[in-house]
Amino acid sequence: MKTSRAFPAGLAALVVVFASALPAAEEAPTAKAPTVEQIVDSANHVAYYQGADGRARVKMTITDAQKRTREREMTILRWDEPAPKDKDKGKDAPAKKDQKFNGRQKFYVYFHKPADVSKMAFLVHKQLKGDDDRWMYLPKLDLVKRIAGSEKRTSFVGSDFFYEDVSGRNVNDDKHELVQDTDQYYVLKNTPVDPAKVEFAYYKTWIHKKTFLVIKNEYYDRNDKPYRTYQVSAVKEIQGYWTVTKARMSDQAAGRYTDVEYSDVKYDTNMDEDLFTERYLRQPPKEHISD
């Protein structure tokens, strides 16, 4: 079966909700070293697919080269397509959610701050292939606007995170090599299949061995110079899922960075897929969104 596996390129905003690691006890490193593909898949799963669904309150603080700051605050809801019923999995099928199934996803973003975007809502139906479907709801016009979604490496809400960092870069868009195997980390070098589509020449990823959390991503230009860095500064185990709670994306070239903090994180909330429709764009689901 073919699954699209979005790789935790930058992780980020949305991600958090999703970021976490496998329960450590079950996934204790075994004698057998995983293949690169397994590492990539596990890290991708940990970054974007933990639990059947998730939500988080996300606070972004954008600091520019003059040290002026801007804030964004939003609630992000994520829903995952359930794994197909234990098909060709046999007795290895996990009891709960399939730990490795990375299927279609839906995201709902409700903006709290700043004031000029407050109460706006943003809906993404992530496709396994091709462009995502995106909608924006502008409450004062009662307008549901559909947005072209082809541009993925542009800023998410004016921060240093890209859309792709938030919703996940397709793992098949890069070639992955294991360049280092340390005590703590698998270090991967990821080279784009189609270099014309991205601004980086390659990026390196530090994946924490025990949890498969991506702790750092470093993007390099064509002169092998790093110019953009994602780094996690705090994680927490929430409902058995290791979760990033603090991270920073730095744009060294511009002297800017964005700190992101996740709070009120919850997994497996039994969110209904119906929340991710026009009905709830026009009427935010208050039971999942605190004021």
**258 to 277, contacts with other proteins by CB under 8 A?**
261, 263-265, 274
CB 36 within 8 A of CB 178: yes
- Min dist. Cβ of residue 229 to other proteins (A): 8
Nearer to other proteins, 99 or 243 (CB): 243
Q: Please report whether residue 106 would count as binding other proteins according to CB under 8 A.
A: no
The verdict on 68 binding other proteins (CB under 8 A) reads yes
Identify the helix (H) or strand (E) that includes residue 282: helix 278-282
Print the binding letters for residues 179-218 with other proteins: x by CB under 8 A, - otherwise. -x-xxxx-x------------------x-x-xx-x-xx-x
Instruction: Work out whether 61 is an interface residue with other proteins (CB under 8 A).
Output: no
Token pair belonging to 226: 């790093």
Buried b (16+ CB within 10 A) or exposed e, 56-75: bbbbbbbbeeeeeeeebbbb
Find out whether 222 and 198 touch, Cβ atoms under 8 Å: no
Q: Is residue 256 a contact residue for other proteins (CB under 8 A)?
A: yes
| The one among 2, 92, 115, 129 contacting other proteins by CB under 8 A | 115
Task: Give 116's DSSP letter.
Answer: G
Is 33 among the residues that bind other proteins (CB under 8 A)? no
Q: Considering the rule CB under 8 A, would residue 224 count as an interface residue with other proteins?
A: no
Beta bridge partners, 223, equal none
Which amino acid is residue 279, in one-letter code? R
Q: How far apart are CA 193 and CA 197, in angstroms?
A: 9
Nearer to other proteins (CB atom), residue 4 or residue 245: 245
